[in-house]
Amino acid sequence: MDKENSNKELRSHSWFAPADEKLGFINRSWLRNQGCPDDYFTGRPVIGICNTWSELTPCNAHLRDFADMVKRGVLEAGGVPFEFPVTSMGETLMRPTAMLFRNLASMDTEESIRANPLDGVVLLTGCDKTTPSTIMGACSVDLPTIVVPGGPMLNGRYKGELIGSGTFAWKIKEKMSNENFTKKDLSEAEVCNSRSAGHCMTMGTASTMACMAEALGLTLPGAAAIPAVDSRKKLLAQLSGRRIVQMVKEDLTLSKILTRKAFENAIVVNAAVGGSTNFIIHLQAIAGRIGVDLELQDFDKLGSHIPLLVNLMPSGKFLMEDFFYAGGLPAVIRELKDKIHNEAITVNGNAIGENNLDAECYNREVISTVVDPFQEEAGIAVLYGNLCENGAVIKPSAASPDLMVHSGKAVVFESIEDCHARIDDPELDIDENSVIVLQGVGPVGYPGMAEVGNVSLPVKLIKKGVKDMVRISDGRMSGTAFGTVVLHVSPESAIGGTLALVKTGDIIELDVPNRRMELKVSDEELKKRRDNWKAPESKYDRGYVNLYIKTVEQSHLGADLDFLVGKSGSEVLRHSH
């Protein structure tokens, strides 16, 4: 590809050197109050640093420092950096769920980029939704763009053992029921769980999104796994600042990198690292913005027969710091060289295969070979049947093999509040063979499709030693979670999907090998139930949430807002003065 395209006029030129001298005066003059010299307005590429920093997003609270390193790199390469904030979403604090605001943040990112005199963009990301939301927004403008992932926390350690952020949280109920885990233990583990800056150090959604960005070709090689507090992460931010200036000169836009081959590479890599099921819904939304046709079935077809190569929680036993020391994502990509499109272009202008040609693995306990993997087939299985006409997903690497084919009586909860209120009732008619069904937690129903699908097991069964059960919902689960959990059932219950018609006592059959999930109720009975079904009344009649409910697409399409799919480009036809 062309390494230089300097004849292309900079987009920022129409702000800073327009034919109308009055406009140029206005646009330049007000920036002068920040001490900008003349040469900031005379043909140097203007780089926007899109920062998702927020003290309310703990995973991203260190990104102010990263922005300074990016600025240094931009200036060294002859560009002009301007940092700007966008909506930040912290998975741990936001209610009802950060996913509700992913699309809002993408709108903020898109319009901030388009409305300002920017020639290229650096996205500073970290916590789960900050990566897909900013990429989605940037795709809809389609300027040269590079991603700088914030990086995972250092490994957690508690009483001499690894403790994984998120993953450990899902074990607390069992530990307090069966392992004499006290409140004092819990308090100590709480501190051990988050001992440095950065996002979850398991292969949760944040780490998955960082790997996704690197596999798509949107980061410099090796970016995904570097711990947040490792000096090499700041170096990567500085080098990314340098590189984005060159990308502008080469006119290397997102649409030139995010081809169908790039998306297929990301699916293969996600399977190999044991990535989160949330990967599906975010990658589809990104594909929808950039204009690549990506269907739910593609994730099964392309990824379900890929071996699991990375031994990280929740599918394994190690953490992201170990992954980095073992060689990180470059070692995985090299191992997958016969299964990916090696010619796919990345942000450094080289093909992904070329970038990772000499990558080494330093620990086969953490990163295995394709010949001798940790699991023969991983990825995501996509299920169909009368309970999920448009599909549902399950992550086999985090599930129990003996439950992959299962039949049991449904125990239905109409909401997560209903579940919390009754799941530990000693009188609840439920056993280890039951199938827990959670309704009302999809995109419209929650709203926002919360990470509640990995329903806690009943205490009375935990005390009996039960560690897993089949659970089905139209919601999501944290990438740090595990279990035989069927998610993203579409259409969701809140809009009248078959999931809304399930009653306690109905038989549900799960057959993951054959990709089926069936509610064993006759068509006649289902029609009768559907005729009597009434849609739940919305509690939201104003603002963004109301807009979201009215326009959000179903999970099998990526849960974007329908009017945001596609892109408007970078052109702005009217001036502000």
Q: What is the pLDDT of residues 415-449, one digit of tens each?
A: 999 999 999 999 999 999 999 999 999 999 999 99
Of the CA atoms within 13 Å of residue 118, those in its CB half-sphere come to 30
Contact 344, 369 (CB under 8 A): no
pLDDT at 574: 86
Q: 232 — phi, psi (to 5°)?
A: -65, -20
Query: For residues 213 and 220, what is the distance between their CA atoms, to the nearest angstrom?
Result: 10
DSSP track, 225-273 = TS-TTSHHHHHHHHHHHHHHHHHHHHT--HHHH--HHHHHHHHHHHHHH
Give 564's DSSP letter.
Answer: G
Pick from 202, 359, 334, 227: nearest CA to 272: 334
- Judged by DSSP in three states, 145 sits in strand
Range 381-536 has CATH code 1.50.10.10: no
CA distance 131 to 98: 12
Q: Domains of the chain: which residue ranges?
A: 13-154+199-294, 381-536
For 18-63, strand residue ranges (E) read 46-51
| Three-class HEC string of 439-503 | CCCCCCCCCCCCCCCCCCCCHHHHCCCCCCCEEEECCCCCCCCCCCEEEEEECCHHHCCHHHHCC
Q: What's the angle, vertex CA 57, arms to CA 56 and CA 60, rounded to 5?
A: 135
Contact indicator for 188, 157 with CB cutoff of 8 Å? no
Amino acid (1-letter code) at residue 132: P
- Cα radius of gyration (the chain): 24
What is the pLDDT at residue 19?
78
| pLDDT confidence of residue 315 | 84
Q: What is the pLDDT of residue 452?
A: 94
Please state the φ and ψ torsions of residue 10, each to the nearest 5 degrees.
-65, 140
pLDDT score for 1: 47
Q: How far is CA 131 from CA 51, 88, 208, 355, in A?
A: 11, 10, 10, 22
Architecture of domain 13-154+199-294: 3-Layer(aba) Sandwich (3.40)
For the chain, residues with pLDDT lower than 70 are: 1-7, 166-167, 170-171
Distances (CA, A) of 542 to 76, 104, 538, 546, 547: 47, 15, 11, 5, 8
How far the first Cα of the chain sits from its last, in Å, is 39
Q: Phi/psi zone of residue 442: left (φ > 0), alpha (ψ -120 to 50 degrees), beta?
A: beta
Residue length, the chain? Answer: 577
Write the CA distances from 331 to 256, 270, 325, 335, 355, integer angstroms. Answer: 25, 14, 11, 6, 11
Which pLDDT value is given to residue 7?
Answer: 61
